[in-house]
Amino acid sequence: MAEFRFLKDFPLLDSIHDADDVRALKPEQLENLAQELRDFLIQTVAETGGHLSSGLGTVELTIALHHVFQTPDDRIVWDVGHQSYPHKILTGRKDKMDSLRQKGGIAGFPKRSESPYDTFGVGHSSTSISAALGMAIAAKTHHQDRKVVAVIGDGALTAGMAFEALNHAGTLDANLLVILNDNDMSISPNVGGLSNHLARILSGRLYSTVKEGSKKVLRNMPSMWALAQRAEEHVKGMVIPGTLFEELGFNYIGPIDGHDLDTLVATLQNLKHLRGPQFLHIVTKKGKGYPPAENNPCFYHGVSSFDPHSGLIKKSSSGAASTPTYTQVFSQWICDTAAKNSELMGITPAMREGSGLVQFSEQFPERYFDVGIAEQHSVTLAAGMACDGLKPVVAIYSTFLQRAYDQLIHDVALQNLPVLFAIDRAGLVGPDGPTHAGSFDLSFMRCIPNLVIMAPADENECRQMLSTGFHHSGPAAVRYPRGKGPGVSIDLQAPVLPIGKGLTVRPGKHIALLAFGSMVSACVPVADELDASLVNMRFIKPLDEDLILRLANEHKIIVTIEENAVAGGAGSAINEILSHHKMTIPVLNLGIPDNFYEQGSREECLAECGLNSFGIIQSIQAFLHEETLANGRLIT
């Protein structure tokens, strides 16, 4: 395997402390800066892990933007933020990159509290144009001659929100530049010397002046004016695919080579002086400059630490390589079930790899639907399928299901349609931080009528619950955490579960631990130490009401434990049952406190929330002490 060599010294990059230093460079120095920045980025992410391919593809664009615009006074809004590492390096955070995505370190996405150059906090896609338009309107309102730039990828442009923003922006005269970073297609014949030359002309003052002057001359001649407009569209349409954006009210420029710094700088310099909504289309290559990432950009999109010289992922120090992740459990289940049931359809909003649908897409391509970054559409598409006899399975991250809440309620649950939601990354996700945490799904789902909600305690139960939800006649959701479970062997013939029934794991005295999903295994040592009863509740909706009432009658304290926001979560549902039956037993609800938790390892995040075994014991002991003081007697 080829060994890749990198720069060891970064003289230009070391001289960059903020964007003023980028603007101070001479044009002929920018290519050298790009090489240093790219090599530094590869070596940094090789140590920390993170999003690599996207950032490598935007090195030249990032340099050009900070070289041309007066950032941070001029605003740059990055969509999603996967591609923002070069931006972070050039804006004063180079020496902190070794703490990337780690507890107490810098975030993996733009974050307003981290730097004035991070003008908008992101993590979910397709928000940049809306946010940038809002900033452009604010600049106009405050009479500030500020430039606002939104950088959005071709994947993020598939979302309806992006087109809603484009549609609105085209009707205003706000000074907004949208840059489409098109990195999915190969560089077409239109991208090259001719296209770059045309882009410079079309973004230049001469063309704009002539165009505006022609409008004034022809404005009183409707037929001629209409003819001139059509002629311009047809001429431009022959060489550039921008008619759609022109129709939305943007002045379209491109496509140009997003790795040609001279063209990028010249075009941005021209666009900087144009008024109104502008649209620049650039074509880049994911993983640019690092062959392993160029050849497999998806694998290096989000990657753990690796050897930069060989491109090989570093082996995990844990000895549990054979233990499947919950995502892998789902992947095997959906393939096995699809082989037996021809009506099963798999749907994902652009998360084939992350949600575990690669094998399914290869084995059942005609039943696999990747709708792009369009969570709302994915849910209503499933509803439509279910209306006419199909059995759709929507594989989605918890944090992204938030974007389809209306569709979950109105299109699926209201019509009681048999759609199964396989909800990955539920709870705390670790390095990706609060933008990707699945902290709220139990709270926002359990209030929806008709919806069955389950949380598995282990890998085998995950498979059972997926089967249970699939065979249920109405909507069902199975939510499971990122990574591996406790390592339970999987019974491929395990029966479906009786809906709404919990399982007693351990009988005990005085204290009843009612645990949900991932918290069951964390509570095993807690129950042993406190001689408490431990129950795997399994179902959040419907709850096992009979079991809850029996436990309340037999114990002195009830403790609920969930990897979800305490507010409105599963524990709150148990409180409601006890209140309804006028049960006056002390209850302690443990879960994710009312806060957003920053990045770190998953274990660090759980510990910070008090949701590891040690933290749960501490919380219970503190609660017992408070009860003792209040009642004047020991509970246990």
Residue 373 CB: number of other CB atoms within 10 A? 25
Which is nearest to 154 in space by CA: 178, 136, 177? 178
Enumerate residues 6+ apart whose C-beta is below 8 A from 3.
309, 310
Do residues 398 and 424 make contact, with C-beta atoms less than 8 angstroms apart?
A: yes
> Which position among 88, 101, 111, 286 bears the catalytic label?
286
Enumerate residues 6+ apart whose C-beta is below 8 A from 541.
445, 446, 451, 452, 453, 573
DSSP per-residue letters across 337-355: HHHH-TTEEEEESS-HHHH
Can 501 be counted among the known catalytic residues? no
Do residues 157 and 126 make contact, with C-beta atoms less than 8 angstroms apart?
A: yes
Instruction: Give the side-chain half-sphere CA count within 13 A for 554.
Output: 14
> Which position among 88, 93, 391, 403 bears the catalytic label?
403
Do residues 349 and 373 make contact, with C-beta atoms less than 8 angstroms apart?
A: yes
Do residues 31 and 105 make contact, with C-beta atoms less than 8 angstroms apart?
A: no
Do residues 248 and 166 make contact, with C-beta atoms less than 8 angstroms apart?
A: yes
How big is the CA angle at 430 (ends 98 and 588), to the nearest 5 degrees?
Answer: 140
Residue 522 CB: number of other CB atoms within 10 A? 20
| CA–CA gap between residue 350 and residue 370 (Å, rounded) | 6
Which is nearest to 214 in space by CA: 240, 233, 239, 232? 232
Can 403 be counted among the known catalytic residues? yes
Q: Give the strand pairing for 278-283 and 344-348.
A: unpaired
> Which position among 246, 375, 459, 562 bears the catalytic label?
375
| CA–CA gap between residue 327 and residue 357 (Å, rounded) | 9
Which is nearest to 302 in space by CA: 61, 34, 100? 100
| CA–CA gap between residue 20 and residue 52 (Å, rounded) | 25
Please give the DSSP secondary-structure letter assigned to residue 173: -
How many separate helices (H) and strands (E) can be counted in the chain? 27, 19
Residue 366 CB: number of other CB atoms within 10 A? 6
| CA–CA gap between residue 371 and residue 377 (Å, rounded) | 7
The phi, psi pair for 58, rounded to 5°, reads -115, 20
Enumerate residues 6+ apart whose C-beta is below 8 A from 162.
126, 128, 129, 152, 156
DSSP per-residue letters across 204-261: SHHHHHHHHHHHHHHTT-HHHHHHHHHHHHHHHHHH---HHHHHTT-EEEEEEETT-H
Q: Give the strand pairing for 302-303 and 278-283.
A: unpaired
The H-or-E segment that residue 383 falls in is helix 375-387
DSSP per-residue letters across 33-100: HHHHHHHHHHHHHHHH-EE-HHHHHTHHHHHHHHHHS-TTTSEEEESSSTT-HHHHIIIIIGGGGGGT
**Which residues are the active-site residues?**
286, 375, 403
